[in-house]
Amino acid sequence: MPERIITYARAINEALREEMLRDETVFIMGEDIAQHNGPFRVTEGLFKEFGAKRVRDTPLSEAAIAGAAAGAAITGLRPVAEIMFIDFSTLATDQIINQAAKMRYMFGGKIRVPVVYRTQGGGGRGNAAQHSQSLEAWYVHIPGLWVVQPSTPHDAKGLLKSAIRNDNPIVFIEHKGLYFTKGPVPEDEYTIPLGVADVKREGQDVTIFATSKMVLVALEAARELARQGVSCEVVDPRTLKPLDMETLLESVRKTHRLVVVVEACLTGSFASEVAARVGEEAFDDLDAPIQRVGGEDVPVPYAGNLESEALPQVKDIIQAVRRIL
């Protein structure tokens, strides 16, 4: 049978539908997700199938969305709350960081907080500085939160299903530039365990460790470098927290070189955390300094030419690889 090819957005939609059919405690909530199908049409058809009780439009208040979802979670439901654009999760950080992330610990494990906060991050669409940020490192920093960033339709579906079934609060970040990318997704039921990285391309000379949409950029750079005789291994963590260091270290011990690629600006980024941990745990295995590739330390510009300069491109990854060969 030929592989079934669907979009990233459709894969998310299928994960939500399948989990809502499987478990009646699962419901979704957010701004314009019901009759209007969400800003990227990810929830299309779900309101018609499940009704207003389980597909709930909310007021335009991120704090209310996040707080209500956390409350629903600790009382026995499994909410999937959409925060329209990660930029506006800043308005909900008290509920996500001070409440959802802390409650299971503060109650000695006597309660569960099975809430998934779906949100959209990243730039490249001309959405300007207030709608284009990559803030995943903020949430990775918080004890008690899990953070997921899938790069392909296959991973998006399998990871979201696992996230919904998990008993911890999870920030599930979907890149806006990935929604209409396509890839193979099985029709049969499957999940992908959280905390397990994936080697997207095997190689011998350099490890490129990339997140979210940067995985696709890294793969394009790896193909170009292969034409130049350089073999790159591309590793996708998929889950930023908990982080699968074993897969990354195994790759670094094979290639002896590492380039870490994120879309966020480099100062205080997830790339910095990864570079530090590899430096601590595999310093003797490195033949060259670790390279970080990320966005410029500027608000993401609106103008297309400036936005491209501010965000990592294929050429930036190639240059970083060349520096350590």
Active site residue 62: yes
Annotated catalytic residue within 131, 175, 273, 307: 131
Task: Give the residue from 86, 197, 93, 71 showing the smallest Cα distance to 142.
Answer: 93
* Contact in structure between 311 and 300 (CB atoms under 8 Å): yes
Give 48-56's long-range contacts (Cβ < 8 A, gap of 24+): 49/17, 50/20, 53/27, 54/20, 54/26, 54/27, 54/28, 55/27, 55/28, 55/29, 56/27, 56/28, 56/29, 56/30
Q: Are 234 and 219 in contact (CB under 8 A)?
A: yes
Residue 83: CB atoms within 10 A of its CB come to 24
Please name the residue that has the structure tokens 């195994």.
Answer: 250
Sign of the Cα pseudo-torsion (281, 285, 289, 293, in order): negative
Query: What span, in angstroms and rounded, lies between the C-alpha atoms of 66 and 69?
Result: 5
Which residue in the list 19, 62, 233, 307 is annotated as catalytic? Answer: 62
Between CA 193 and CA 163 the distance in angstroms is 9
Q: Is 131 a catalytic residue?
A: yes
Residues 263/233, Cβ–Cβ less than 8 Å: no
Active site residues: 62, 131
